[in-house]
Structure formats: C-alpha cells, structure tokens
Amino acid sequence: MGSLETVQSATAINATSRAVLVQDKATDVWNEYQADSLKKHVYGIAADAPGPNAARYRKASADQVQAQNILRDKATAGEHERDQLVETAEAAEKRHHWLTAAAALLEIGIGVSSVSIITKNRLFWFGALALGLGGLVLFITCWLV
C-alpha cells in the first residue's frame, strides 16, 4: 500500500509538470496567434490603401485569418490537454491522501498486533484487527471516491 501511495504521489507530480509544459506550449501558440492578428491588421490597412500591391495585401490578410484559425484550434487543444492533466493530478493527489491514511492505519495495526502477541491480550488483538480493517476500508474508498 505504501508503494501505491508513492505511485499516486509521483503521478500527481508528473501530471502537474506535464500540465505546466502543455500550458507553456499553448501560451506560445496564443502569442503566435496574436502576432498573426497584428500582421492581419497591418495587411488590411495596407490593402485599403490605393496602389498596385493592394490585392497582394488583401490575400496576405486572408492568409493570416486561415493561419489564425489553425493556431486557435491548436492552442485550444493544448488548453484542453492541460485541463485533463490537472484533473489527473488532482485525482492522484486525492488518492495519495487516502492511501497515506490507509497505510498509517495498517502500520499502527501491525504495531498493536505485536503488542498483543507480547502481552497475550486479546483486546489489543481486536484493536489491531479493527485498525487493519479501517486501513482496508480507506484503501477501497480511495478508488471509489
């Protein structure tokens, strides 16, 4: 159970780290989106000016719109992936806490059972069983919650 606790903790840390990296990538894509937006506006202003290059600037402005649509979809997908990773991290962290409590109860139960063996006191034995059962209940609960 202690190993599962460690695995859940590592899963939470890993998912959180990956969420930060994915968010950084999404932020970079949004920055590129904003840069393309500025280019689109500049090309739009240049297209409105009379001259032989107006048609070329109108096409460049339209191309920027298409590029922005692709970037927006990519950034939104990155943010969606980030949200999924954050949910994974939160669930793993929650299970980690339940598993920590379950492992603590089992370890205390083992200690109390040792005392019951030494003292030959059945009350300690039943206490150890209750602690072990409590640990088992917490273990099962962590996967159901």
Domain ranges of the chain: 2-144
Q: Which amino acid is at 71?
A: L
**Percent of the chain scoring above 90 in pLDDT:** 63
Q: What share of the chain is helix, strand, coil (3-state, %, to 5)?
A: 95, 0, 5
Q: What pLDDT does residue 1 have?
A: 61
- Residues 95 and 4: their CA atoms lie apart, in Å, by 9
Which residues touch 73 (CB under 8 Å, ≥6 apart)?
none
Q: Three-state SS for 50?
A: coil
Per-residue pLDDT of the chain (145 residues; tens, 9 = 90+): 668 878 888 989 999 999 999 999 999 999 999 999 999 999 888 888 888 888 888 899 889 999 999 999 999 999 999 999 999 999 888 888 889 999 999 999 999 999 999 999 999 999 999 999 999 999 999 888 7
Give the torsion through C-alpha atoms of 71, 72, 73, 79, to 10 deg.
110
